[in-house]
Chains A and B, each alone.
Chain A
Amino acid sequence: GEDVEQSLFLSVREGDSSVINCTYTDSSSTYLYWYKQEPGAGLQLLTYIFSNMDMKQDQRLTVLLNKKDKHLSLRIADTQTGDSAIYFCAETLYGGATNKLIFGTGTLLAVQP
């Protein structure tokens, strides 16, 4: 199937690290994405990783990719209250007139002060 799975909720304390996990389905996905949705807003691309990479670091964000297990994770170091949002992973589904993004269910990250 095309289900991209994520846990629904994660609660952390300010200053701790957050790890959001995602399991995707299509091993041919070249790019995998993390989008952030703040309350009442649309989705915004946070980061992405190319499939030939195991890890990508961007300031407080670290993306880990395990292609064998089709597992993607997003680690946020020193989590701040401003990081409270819903985080979506997305994989690329190839074929047809356009390469479609298949989104996970989203993980609500709640950061406690």
Chain B
Amino acid sequence: NAGVTQTPKFRVLKTGQSMTLLCAQDMNHEYMYWYRQDPGMGLRLIHYSVGEGTTAKGEVPDGYNVSRLKKQNFLLGLESAAPSQTSVYFCASSRSGRSSYNEQFFGPGTRLTVL
């Protein structure tokens, strides 16, 4: 089992460019999440998905879009990157998000710099 994988690992963009971050999980998990991690702020939820074909907004969704066309993949898109989106992005998945025990499994992260 590879668990949760993310591509790319690193990326540098210029302001206004677009890109897509790919997350894949091989654990047959229903729920998937995108977080961003910034110094001194912990992890903040951007968007999440409760199943194939569904997405929902998290705490900081502005400037991002997501898609979950296949159960195992969750894509995070930046249509017009801004320097404020410089961050480390983590994808996570969980078997269920409705039970009170909700262990999330994390990918290794993507470090994005927007110049």
Contact = CB atoms under 8 A, between A and B. Distances in A.
Contacts of B4: 42
A10 interface: no
- For chain B, the bracket of interface size reads 20 to 34
Nearest to A96: B56
A98 B109 contact: no
A42 B107 contact: yes
A105 interface: yes
A4 interface: yes
Contacts of A104: 42
B90 A105 contact: no
B45 interface: yes
Which of the four size classes fits the interface of chain A? 20 to 34
Interface stretch (B14-22, B62-70, B71-79, B96-104): B96-104
A88 B42 contact: yes
A100 interface: yes
A30 B104 CA distance: 15
Given A43-B92, A43-B104, 10 more contacts: A8-B40, A31-B100, A42-B4, A42-B108, A45-B104, A45-B105, A99-B97, A99-B98, A100-B45, A104-B42
